[in-house]
Amino acid sequence: MPELVTLGPDAPFEEVIAVIERDGGVIIRDFVDEATIEGLEADLRAHLDETDWGKDDFSGGRTRRFGAVFNHTKHVIPVVRQPQWHAAAQHFIQGPSLRKKELRGQGQVPSYRIGVTQVIDIHPGQGLQVLHRDDGLWDYPHPEGYEQHARMQVMLAITEFTEENGGTMVVPGSHRWDDERRPLPEEAIPTVMAKGSALLWLGGVYHGGGMNESDSSRTGLTIGFDLGWLRQEENMYLSLDHEIVRGLPEDVQKLLGWELSSAAGFVMDDGEMASPIRLLA
């Protein structure tokens, strides 16, 4: 069975991008340092213990999930600053607009923003999640040869991911498929990675949560970097505690959406179409 490629945290950006270009995803070993993973595990576990089971098939009746992760832990900050992830987002989300602008000497380059944060804890007995594209939430089109990607996502392993415990099922290369082709179950392969590693994958890749046939839960933290002119999947402005957002570093505030994408998202301030970050100050 083919496997997803695993690269180290120091692998050059070009290599990370080339593997994602070919397979739609790549595993990065030691995505963040050990102290960050330990801190995340402690903070997230505490909240998972108070979280109920999923209420529908997609969420999973033996799966616990919660969002608004910035409300629950500061250890998510180094995760959203990981340089290989930013390089991939710049290439796949902003790259097409940048290249168009270079060619024509005009055009707007959109930002990318954190569009979703979710802790997903798959328990023993949970079955397979249906294979899907996460950019399906916008009914995002995939014409042949499309270049403009909507999402560059991460699944960080808070516990190890195995074939037995529900490691995310991925259909390599499916980011290049058009909207007609459907994935077959046997085309999906499991994400096998150690605690602290992360799967980076494009929003156009067919994937789904795996079946947990082990005797312990599989915990992942997933975060999407999304094209700035799309509506964020998770409403950050309403779900995050503004006192906590005020305490975050400015680059993270902007990444959460307290900034403009080209001209979109302004607040009027004395006749100026200003960045919403002004209202946080």
- In the complex, the residues that contact Fe ion under the rule CB under 5 A are 134
Of the candidates 196, 220, 224, 228, which one interacts with ligand AKG according to CB under 6 A?
220
C-beta of residue 118 within 8 angstroms of C-beta of residue 46: no
Q: DSSP string spanning 196-225?
A: T-EEEEETTS-EE-----SSS-EEEEEEEE
Q: How far apart are the C-alpha atoms of 236 and 68, rounded to whole Å?
A: 7
Rule CB under 6 A: choose which of 75, 142, 149, 207 binds ligand AKG: 207
Q: Rule CB under 6 A: which of 98-137 touch ligand AKG?
A: 120, 122, 129, 134
Residue 183, contacted partner among Fe ion, ligand AKG, none, CB below 5-8 A by kind: none
Task: Answer yes or no whether residue 67 interacts with ligand AKG by CB under 6 A.
Answer: no
41 binds, among Fe ion, ligand AKG, none (CB under 5 to 8 A by kind): none
- Rounded least distance, CB 249 to ligand AKG, Å: 28
Least distance (Å) between residue 208 CB and Fe ion: 7
The least CB distance from residue 69 to ligand AKG, in Å, is 14
DSSP secondary structure letter of residue 191: -
Q: Are 31 and 196 in contact (CB under 8 A)?
A: yes
Nearer to Fe ion, 59 or 275 (CB): 59
Whose Cβ is closer to ligand AKG: residue 169's or residue 245's?
169
Quote the tokens at residue 268.
């009027």
168 touches ligand AKG (CB under 6 A): yes
Closest to 195 measured CA to CA, from 68, 34, 3, 15: 34
Of all residues in the chain, what percent are helix, strand and coil, respectively (each to 5)?
30, 20, 50
- Please give the angle made by the CA atoms of 106, 148 and 253, to the nearest 5 degrees: 80
The one among 208, 224, 228, 257 contacting ligand AKG by CB under 6 A: 208
Stretch that binds ligand AKG, among 38-46, 87-95, 101-109, 201-209 (CB under 6 A): 201-209
Q: How far is the CB of 203 from Fe ion (least distance, A)?
A: 9
Q: Is the dihedral of CA 202, 203, 206, 207 positive or negative?
A: positive
Neighbouring CB atoms inside 10 A of 261's CB total 17
Between strands 63-66 and 189-190, the pairing is: unpaired
* Residue 130 CB, nearest approach to Fe ion (Å): 10
* Residues found near ligand AKG in the complex (CB under 6 A): 120, 122, 129, 134, 155, 168, 207-209, 220
